Amino acid sequence: MSSTKQLDPAVCNVKVTSGAVVCFEADYYGDITIGARTVIHPKARIIAEAGPIIIGESNLIEEQAQIINRLPEGTEAGDQLPVMVIGNNNVFEVDSYCQASKVGDNNVLEAKSHVGPGVELTRGCVVGSLCSLVCPQVVQENTVIYGDELHHRTQSEKPAPQGLQLDFLTKILPNYHYLIKPKKKVAA
């Protein structure tokens, strides 16, 4: 038996673009596509129960973060599977919970934030720690949600991109964790 561990194909189907650093020790379920330069820390949970999840480039998904594509209780699956699309340069911090139908670019979900189903994050949104968005809504660009009372404010520019941190993690995470390798294209 080879020493490299393999994902169980019956449970999940993870397509990793080359350049992404995807730790093996995270929970995957369903059909997941991960873009280049994305870093997924160990113990993240990406659950594509109801339909596929497509994660863009340069995202940072930290441990205990949950990205879940699940049908709300009581609804039945229609003909089309709901696809959850996550854009580029997003940050999902520790223990954040995202069930949004669509996540744009440059958003930050801080630690322990909760984004429920039906919410749509556009660009540059910051959902603060311990804040939860439950009602279906479209969050405008560059909105910051923070505090105990869930104040809203608009910032003038999008949150800073985490390129430096991503580079650092791309260098050191492979030293400590098993990674899911991108599948090599089969020569015809």
Partner 1 sequence: MVCLQSCHYDFVSQRQPFNPTITIFHQLGGDSCLAQSKMELEDSFYPKAQYIETATGNRVSRGSVLCGSQNIVLSGKVIVLSGVIIRGDLANVRVGRHCVISSKAVIRPPFKKFSKGVAFFPLHIGDQVFIGEGSIVNAAVVGSYVYIGKNCVIGRRCVLKDCCMIADNTVLPPETVVPPFAIYSGSPARHTGDLPEATQDLMTDYTKSCYHHFIRVKDMPPQAREGTTKLIDI
Contact residues toward partner 1 (CB under 8 A) are 25, 42-43, 63-64, 94-95, 110-112, 128-130, 146-148, 164-165, 167-168, 172-173, 175-177
Comparing CB distances to partner 1, the nearer of 148 and 157 is: 148
CB of 170 to partner 1, least distance (A): 11
CB of 160 to partner 1, least distance (A): 9
Is residue 25 classed as helix, strand or coil in its secondary structure?
coil
CB of 162 to partner 1, least distance (A): 9
CA distance 141 to 182: 33
Q: Give the pair of three-digit tokens for residue 167.
A: 């580079």
Locate tokens 């968005």: which residue? 133
Comparing CB distances to partner 1, the nearer of 176 and 184 is: 176
Q: How many of the other CB atoms lie within 10 Å of CB of 16?
A: 20
Q: Tell which residue, 89, 84, 83, 86, has the closest CA to residue 38.
A: 89
Comparing CB distances to partner 1, the nearer of 25 and 141 is: 25
